[in-house]
Amino acid sequence: MQSGMNPWSSNQTVDVDRLFTEFGIEPIGEVARRLPEVPPFIRRGVVVGHRDYQVVVDAIRNRTPFHVLTGFMPSGLPHLGHLMVMKEVVWHVQQGGNGYVAIADREAHAVRGMSWEKCREYGREYLKALYALGFRGTTYYQSRNEPLKDLAFEASTKVNFSELSAIYGFGPETSLGHAMSVATQVGDILFPQLDAGPAPTVVPVGLDQDPHIRLTRDVAHKLRMFTVEDRDDYVSVRSKNAPEEALEAVHRAFAGSKKYAGHVDITGQPHARVDDTVREIEIAHGGFGFYLPSSTYHIFMPGLQGGKMSSSVPESLFGFYEPEKSVRKKVMAALTGGRMTLEEQKRLGGEPDRCSVYLLNLFHMLEDDGELAELRRRCESGEITCGQCKKETLERVQAFLTDLRDKMDAVEHLADEV
């Protein structure tokens, strides 16, 4: 497991340490060690933090149900910058998770003014890439998912405009459609529990997405009828907006426990059992019984040119269907951690942690840890020149893209069924 050092924090658009200390994101290390198999994106320090991921780790270990989901806004074609989250979702599906992918066409339409036709055309490419990478599960377009719309409406009753302006900077000019697309995204995260039943749910996101996760957890909490609190020597169940019958059902379920109006103390009961029972009662009485969604947080791969990776900076990334000539040009022009002269490179070695070519290998192109370590050794010892290193990396990129495109072509029918 990589140390806590994060060599790329200077490239991040968000302050990693602040998110950890101020907003309570936990470092992933300890909880990840309990995974039966630690995936490369955690081993290599790409995924750095989490909220409540331990319940998902438990589900993986115990082979009990859990969900994993993400969403993509179809405002352009998928590219290198989307690959990490796709891999994280696919990995969780391979660990037994129920996979969900939302194509956020309502958001693309409301926020970017994309036509529905374009949303569909681009959305199809995201789905093809996901299926090609091994995703299996449920995929949908927001605009065509009726239960999601109802859930988003319920979610919207728990969010006010001051929260929206604090989180997203909404002002007097913001359209109501934009606000609705936020509610829809909250709905997306809770949708798997509506569709397939309450279960721990993990949402792999970039660190900048945490405000949205916090909002969704808050809404999930508000939509529940009861609050189950773990105290030192007892578990307490408090009602929030539960109907009388639901309250009575809780009292009946825990008969013999100390009780008083709207608040039940269940001395000596294990929290998990209480939570499950209360959840069942909530659902039976028309409530939601959600688990608060868990999240993992990845840092961002810098752009090939060394700055931010963004579709508005074409040289910072390549698309999955980009012509070979253009991919070659971008990889060969990438910013390296090489020295000014060949002589210096041989004497001092390169600086892989400052090199976008190395990071391209670390994030995506070298799956074998031994091969990655060997690349680092050859770089730091000055054994390899940056020119040679880029050439080798380009070959990997070309092989990766050829394979991905073949697979994308082969799964077109799956994307068309959505």
> Which residues of the shown chain bind ligand SF4 in the complex (CB under 6 A)?
336-338, 350, 352, 355, 357-358, 379, 384, 386, 389-390
Long-range interactions of 157-163: CB distance < 8 A, separation 24+: 158/218, 158/219, 158/222, 158/223, 159/183, 159/186, 159/215, 159/219, 163/215
Beta carbon nearer to ligand SF4, 258 or 377:
377
Distance of alpha carbon 130 from alpha carbon 354, whole angstroms? 30
* Helix 244-253 vs helix 271-284: crossing angle, to nearest 10: 150
CA 280, chain centre distance (Å)? 28
Closest approach, Cβ 390 to ligand SF4, in A, equals 6
Shortest gap between Cβ of 133 and ligand SF4 (angstroms)? 25
Closest CB to ligand SF4 among residues 215, 389: 389
Specify the 3-state DSSP secondary structure of 274: helix
- Residue placing its CB nearer to ligand SF4 in the complex, 201 or 336: 336
Nearer to ligand SF4, 284 or 333 (CB): 333
- Supply the minimum distance, in Å, between the C-beta of residue 39 and ligand SF4: 23
- Please say which residue, 304 or 411, places its beta carbon nearer to ligand SF4: 304
CA angle 147–297–205, rounded 5-degree value:
35
Distant-in-sequence, close-in-space partners of 315: CB < 8 Å, separation ≥ 6: 303, 304, 305, 330, 333
CB of residue 389 vs ligand SF4: minimum separation in angstroms? 3
Nearest to 29 by CA among 6, 13, 8: 6
Token reading at 379: 């770089």
Residue 310, classified by CB atoms within 10 Å of its CB into exposed (0-12), middle (13-18) or buried (19+), is: middle
**Residue 384 Cβ vs ligand SF4, minimum distance, rounded to whole Å:** 5
* CB 359 to ligand SF4: min, Å: 9
Q: How far is the CB of 207 from ligand SF4 (least distance, A)?
A: 24
Q: Which residues of 331-366 are buried (b: 16+ CB within 10 A; e: fewer)?
A: beebbbbbbeeeeebeeebbebbbbbbbbbbbbbbb
Please check whether residue 207 is in contact with residue 28, taking contact to mean a CB–CB distance below 8 angstroms.
no
Nearer to ligand SF4, 303 or 350 (CB): 350
- Measured from the CB atom, the residue of 344 and 409 that comes closer to ligand SF4 is 344
